Amino acid sequence: MARHGGRGWYGRVVAAAVGVTAVAAATSVWTAQAGQTGGGSAAPGVSARPAAPKAAPVSETIAHSSDGGAHAVNITIDDGPDPAWTPQVLQVLRDNGVKATFCMVGTQAEAHPDLVKQVVAAGHRLCDHTVSHDTTMDKKSQAYQSQQIVDAERQITKASGGVRPMYYRAPGGAFTPYSRKLAASHGMRPLGWNVDSKDFERPGSEAIIATVKGELHNGPTILFHDAGGDRSQTVTALRTLLPWLKQQGYGFGFPVR
């Protein structure tokens, strides 16, 4: 769901201390050392696995432009995946040869890992849209923001089979300086939008089309949704808008990183 305000809505990990037994702590240290050196035998019942590498940090400024150049647009799809609508959106994108960025809610990704894998297999990019899509999270504590962002990153990465989200989009644009910095430190570029299709309000496909055409001058990143209710109007609008954009000479890219 978009919270309106255009480009002016720019914008706050905390680790919980957990008590562990001395045996568990010793096993953890041994496992990490074994993973680093690649030598030694595993302790009984323990598999030595090196930790997954952390993504390189990216800019913490909110991205709006396209890596496709001055006459390219970025199609972004929020709030899914959804078993009814995500496959239909994927089909429209496939029919038009367009790649998009899917901003996924962590609980949705966790519930529908097959759809997350389909998105990745089709060449689209993933974006962290928090665990529960709380549009007031900019008013919450840093610990809460951290939980929402980092847990969703984990949920989406697991559901995808190991592909990390490349962006972070705050629900409703509820960014904070802290959330932007945290996301960037995890290799996720904060992602804004220039054109709000207002498809979430279900105003009719013709209204969605008219809104996008009328706001394209604002910039290249266009916001749509594939969950949160009946998205048939979005699917219909995309069937018209994607060919129209090509006819106008637009290319399609991804948000800058």
> What does the block give as tokens for 141?
């504590």
Contact 234, 82 (CB under 8 A): no
Active site (annotated) includes residue 4: no
Active site (annotated) includes residue 78: yes
Q: Counting beta carbons within 10 angstroms of the beta carbon of residue 15, is it exposed (0 to 12), middle (13 to 18) or buried (19 or more)?
A: exposed
- Tell me phi and psi for residue 66, to 5 degrees: -110, 145
The CA R_g of the chain, rounded to the nearest whole Å, is: 20
- Exactly one of 112, 124, 133, 225 is catalytic; which is it? 225
- Residue located via tokens 């097959």: 114
- Exactly one of 4, 78, 112, 128 is catalytic; which is it? 78
Which stretches of the chain are assigned E, i.e. beta strand?
A: 72-78, 101-104, 125-128, 167-168, 189-190, 195-196, 221-225, 251-253
Q: Which residues are catalytic?
A: 78, 225
